[in-house]
Amino acid sequence: MQRELHHLRKTYEKDALIESQIGDDPYELFHQWFENAQEHTSVDEVNAMGLSTIGLDGFPKTRIVLLKEIVDGKFVFYTNYASEKGKSMEANEKVSLHFFWPALERQITIKGTVQKVSREQSETYYRTRPRGSQIGAWASHQSTEVSGREALDENLKHFTEKFDGMEVPLPDFWGGYEVMPVSFEFWQGRPNRLHDRILYKSDGSSWNHKRLAP
Confirm if 98 and 108 have CB atoms less than 8 A apart: yes
> 35: exposed, middle or buried (C-beta count within 10 Å: 0-12, 13-18, 19+)?
exposed
127, 193, 197, 211: which one is catalytic? 193
**Phi, psi dihedral angles at 10 (to 5 degrees):** -140, 145
Strands 48-54 and 60-66, bridge-based pairing: antiparallel
Cβ-Cβ contacts under 8 Å for 78 (sequence gap 6 or more): 68, 122, 125, 126, 174, 175, 176, 177
How far, in Å, CA of 16 to CA of 188, rounded?
A: 6
How far, in Å, CA of 199 to CA of 17, rounded?
A: 11
Report DSSP state, residue 31.
H
Name the 3-class secondary structure at 87. Answer: helix
Whether 197 is catalytic: no
Residues noted as catalytic? 193
